[in-house]
Structure 1
Amino acid sequence: MPELPDVEGFRHTLASCARGRRVERVEVADPGVLHGVTPQRLNRDLKGRRFAEPRRHGKWLIAPTDGPTVLLHFGMTGRLVCGAATDPPGRFERVALALDDGHRLGYEDQRKLRGIWLAATEADTDRILGEQGPDALTLSRADFDKRLEGRRGGIKSTLTDQSVVAGLGNLLSDEILWRARIHPRRPTSALTTDERRRLHTAMREVLRTSVRAEEIPARPSWLTGHRDDPDPHCPRCGHPLRRTRIAGRTSVWCPHCQPEAS
């Protein structure tokens, strides 16, 4: 389930594979991942265009060319793969771009929950992105506090709301809350100054490490490294971890380190 660090890795893939390269053709194996654009138009509008420097905002990858801009969202199972034009397509490859240097840039996605958009103008890009909060990696402590002000509901729901903070998903939010010792259901409005400080510090630490790894690493010292164990225990205190659905997703936390009442 790609979150901010994974998409940052896809940005590196796109930059190293396609930046400065010209698109020779677009091959669409499954138009179900295209939004607001037909396979024919995608090929027509991108053919002959050169990719500029890509950027990321939250979970979105924004790939401008010297014409339109390609926007990619990876949903739950998407990824970006760079290979040789002679390589066989991946099992779940939905769209591929053949480049002028003999490389092939493939968008793969098993579940097809999101996909690819094409924007002709900056206004189109803003419309497609919708109401996105600031990117979590760039958020200062003061701005973080402002984003939490007046928010109702539990803190996990707030962190995973892309209009509040862009880029955090299920795994990142659980890891951040575990490090900050805050229960995922704790009301956002009830957070103390110290809790908000711990939360912001944990967010920066987790994101910096994850971005370097281009994924959320399943390290033995991380909650992420144990959440899928058959009998998961907290790597910090050794108590059994708990699982339940919070904010619509399976959440994992330590009831000893993250008590519900504080």
Structure 2
Amino acid sequence: MPELPDVEGFRRVLESCAKGRVIQRVDVRDTGVLREVSTRRLRDALEGRRFTQPERHGKWLLARTGGPTLMLHFGMTGQLVCGRPGDEVEAHDRVLFTLARDRQLRFRDQRKLQGLWLADDESEVARLLGRQGPDAMAVDRAEFQAVLSVRRGSVKAALIDQSVLAGLGNLLADEILWRAGLRPTSRSSDLTDADCRRLYTHMRRTLRSAVTAGCVPPRDSWLTGHRDDPVPTCPRCGNSLRRSRVAGRGTVWCPRCQ
């Protein structure tokens, strides 16, 4: 599932492929990914405009045009790829944006759980992002501690709740908690100041590394690199990792380190 690092990678794809280029044609191959917008309205709003500097908030990508904003959410299987109009169209290429200078941006998604929205103005952008918490890459430590302190449930549930903190998913939450030495079932409201400082520090470090990689990398030195092993062991202490469900999500953690 795309998390903040993946979406930041898609933002860079959009920037390198499309920034400053005219949208010559919008080809909707599957209306099942359009949300609150018709094919005709999408074409009328975007064709002839230029993509400007894209932005990201949590798992949302904002494709600015100087007018309407195309807003993309990638759900579990979405991608944004850059190609050429003559490239073979793949089965899951849902919307194609043909650009000047022989470029084509493609929204590709197998399961179609989210998709594309069109915001006519900033009030519409704000409405669509209205239930999102602060971005996990941009939040400062004071705000981070404040949003966690009012949560009554587990710290993992808080980290993956997009209304609390935008951008973290299951893999990142497990990785950050393991690095911080905190059990995923710990109550957010019970975290000490030292716990919050440590959690914030490791969140920032983990995100920086993951953004550089463009994903949550399954490295041998990361918990993520071992969570799917037949007999997973902690890369820090060598103890057996435990699998459980927290906040309805499959969770991997080390009972010795956490």
TM-score (normalised: structure 1): 0.96
Equivalent residue, structure 2, for 1:131 = 131
Aligned partner of 2:2 in structure 1 is: 2
Equivalent position of 1:250 in the other structure: 250
The residue that corresponds to 1:213 in the other structure is 213
Q: Which residue does 1:42 correspond to in 2?
A: 42
Alpha-carbon displacement from aligned partner over 1:205-248 (angstroms, at most 9, x marks no partner) = 10011111111111100000111111111100111111122112
CA deviations on 1:26-56 (whole Å, 9 max, x unpaired) are 1111101100111121112111010010000
SS of residue in 1 equivalent to 2:137: helix
* Distance in 1 of aligned mates of 2:112 and 2:253: 29
Determine if contact 2:149/2:191 at 8 Å carries over to the other structure: no
Partner of 1:62: 62
The gaps in structure 2 that reach 5 residues or longer are none
Give the superposition deviation at 1:123: 0.3
Alignment of 1:154-233 (within 5 A): 154-233=154-233
TM normalised by structure 2 equals: 0.98
What is residue 98 of structure 1 aligned with on the other side? 98
Letter in 2 for 1:197: R
Offset of residue 130 of structure 1 = 2.4
8 A contact 2:23–2:100 mirrored in 1: yes
> What is the SS of the residue equivalent to 1:244?
strand
Shift of 1:204: 0.5
Distance 1:165 1:90 in 2: 34
Aligned match of 2:82: 82
Structure 1: gaps of 5 or more residues: none
Residues 119-148 of structure 1, C-alpha deviations (whole Å, 9 max, x = no match):
101001111122111111112211211111
CA RMSD for the aligned pairs? 0.9
CA distance in 2, matches of 1:246, 1:78: 25
Distance (whole Å) between structure 1 residues aligned to residue 113 and residue 173 of structure 2: 21
Residue type of the alignment partner of 1:257: C
SS in 1 for 2:199: helix
SS at match of 2:210: helix
The CA deviation at 1:164 is 1.0
**Cα offset, 1:90, TM superposition:** 2.4
Paired residues in the alignment total: 258
Q: What is the rounded CA distance, in whole Å, between the counterparts of 2:121 and 2:37 in structure 1?
A: 14
Measure how far apart 1:184 and its partner are.
Answer: 0.5
Q: Does the 8 A contact of 2:67 with 2:121 survive in 1?
A: no
What residue number does 2:115 align with? 115
Establish whether residue 234 from structure 1 lines up as the match of residue 234 from structure 2. yes
Tell me which stretches of 4 or more aligned residues in structure 1 moved more than 3 Å: none
d(CA) in 1 for partners of 2:201 and 2:73? 27
Post-superposition offset of 1:66:
2.7
Q: Distance in 1 between matches of 2:150 and 2:51?
A: 41
SS in 2 for 1:138: coil
Deviation (angstroms), 1:149: 2.0
Identity of aligned residues (%): 58
8 Å contact kept, 2:149–2:189: yes
